[in-house]
Amino acid sequence: MENSPKINKPVSKPKKLRIKEKTDFITETLENLYPEVPIPLDHKDPYTLLIAVLLSAQCTDERVNKVTPTLFKAADNPVDMSKLEVSTIEDIIRPCGLSPRKSRAINELSKILLEKHNGQVPETFEDLEALPGVGHKTASVVMSQAFGHAAFPVDTHIHRLAHRWGLTVGKSVEQTEKDLKKLFPESLWNRLHLQIIFYGREYCPARGHDLNKCIICKKLNP
């Protein structure tokens, strides 16, 4: 009797996770890894946080934290900062990049805070985004980290991870922010955006990404 030919069974592909399963896994993983989420930019009040976030545009938090002690020693409030020459601010913050634009913005916004807000950082998106050099992402960081309002600041790093994890197909950080806000409860936004930043740095970098070490990508993209 002739042997029957072997029939190769098709290899079943890993079942794709539903979006709710993805978000639950991401939330649980990040909470286990980062139960405490310190604000990465050194500051002492809303004003110094605002300046530090402004400086962090296209610059690492680590470098900002090396520059701000010198800057805040010279001026750590709108009154003193408005009195500094723009060229003096520029010399101090040069390592952060874009120093001509950032120094003018810091000087101008300090004057506006004195003229329009009694020297205080305003607590609304509208007023914050009206300040020189302050975009929606910067305003979101200040609203969430300085004042505790629910916000989901999305920078290019969070935008990249959200794409990698299949949470958005948005082409802009603005669209990604809207998508993430729909997927995660508002009560998690302030912690979650920091947890994603920490996770990206440690496990899910843009370059040299190791799938075997990346817990979330290994689960979501087997």
pLDDT, tens digit, 9 for 90 and up, residues 76-113: 999 999 999 999 999 999 999 999 999 999 999 999 99
Report how far Cα 187 is from the mean position of its chain's Cα atoms. 17
pLDDT in tens, 115-139: 999 999 999 999 999 999 999 999 9
* Separation of alpha carbons 115 and 50, rounded Å: 17
The pLDDT value given to residue 115: 98
The pLDDT value given to residue 221: 79
Looking at the predicted structure, is the pLDDT value of residue 217 above 70?
yes
Q: Which residues make Cβ contacts (< 8 Å) with residue 55, sequence separation at least 6?
A: 64, 67, 68, 93, 96, 102
Which residues are catalytic, by number? 137, 155
Better-scored residue on pLDDT, 81 or 206? 81
pLDDT band at 16 (very low <50, low <70, confident <90, very high): low
The pLDDT value given to residue 20: 93
The pLDDT value given to residue 17: 73
Which domains does the chain carry? 19-38+151-220 (1.10.1670.10), 46-146 (1.10.340.30)
Task: Report the percentage of the chain scoring pLDDT > 70.
Answer: 92
The pLDDT value given to residue 8: 52
HEC string of the chain equals: CCCCCCCCCCCCCCCCCCHHHHHHHHHHHHHHHCCCCCCCCCCCCHHHHHHHHHHCCCCCHHHHHHHHHHHHHHCCCHHHHHHCCHHHHHHHHHHHCCHHHHHHHHHHHHHHHHHHCCCCCCCCHHHHHCCCCCCHHHHHHHHHHHCCCCCCCCCHHHHHHHHHCCCCCCCCHHHHHHHHHHHCCHHHHHHHHHHHHHHHHHCCCCCCCCCCCCHHHHHHCC
